[in-house]
Amino acid sequence: MLDERDRKILDLLQTDAGISVTELADKVALSVSACSRRIQRLEESGHIARRIVVLDRNKMGVPTTVYALIKTVHHSDDWMEVFRKAIGDVPEIVEAHRLTGNHDYILKIVLPRVEQYDVVYKKIVRRVELFDVTASISMEELKSGLGVPVNYAD
């Protein structure tokens, strides 16, 4: 069961995983050793899945975001495994979700420029049959982040 200090630790770590344990302990009013033990417990319990570095997309040369909405007539486990492998092999595809509604999947694709989308599209359709693909270009990012709300965790 998480308490408010655990939630505060999680919130601070997901904002900056590089924060020192000393600074973190100070912010949550714990000793360094107690804070370190809590972090270890949160990692062991799976509340902390991993620690990552978020790169600046502009500096990495991939400022353009394209969302591809995909429809398929195939829904077998075998087809889904081929699809999963096909998109997994394309580093420009940074997110993929199976959907309810009018489309089956949505892919978030980051690119140096919109013209590069055709290269990614061809990589996918060469490997897996799709019924329809509709792409939308993000004009402006209004909110971005990897953090999740911490107040729902038990």
Which residues are CB-neighbours of 110 under 8 A, at least 6 positions away? 57, 62, 64, 65, 92, 94
CATH no. of 64-137: 3.30.70.920
Measured at the CA of 70, the angle between CA 132 and CA 58, to 5 degrees, comes to 120
- Within the chain, which residue ranges are assigned CATH 3.30.70.920? 64-137
Task: For residue 30, give the amino acid letter.
Answer: L
Residue 68 β-bridge partners: 107, 135
From the number of C-beta atoms within 10 Å of its C-beta (0-12, 13-18, 19+), residue 35 rates as buried
Range 4-44: architecture per CATH: Orthogonal Bundle (1.10)
Q: At what angle do helices 77-88 and 117-125 cross, to 10 degrees?
A: 150
Residue 52 near residue 43 (C-beta atoms within 8 A): no
pLDDT of residue 67: 98
pTM over 0.85? The answer is yes
Inform me whether the pLDDT recorded for 145 exceeds 90: no
pLDDT of residue 1: 87
What tens digit of pLDDT does each residue of 25-82 get?
Answer: 999 999 999 999 999 999 999 999 999 999 999 999 999 999 999 999 999 999 999 9
46 in the Ramachandran plot: left (φ > 0), alpha (ψ -120 to 50) or beta? left
Backbone angles phi, psi at 77, to 5 degrees: -60, -40
pLDDT of residue 24: 97
- Within the chain, which residue ranges are assigned CATH 1.10.10.10? 4-44
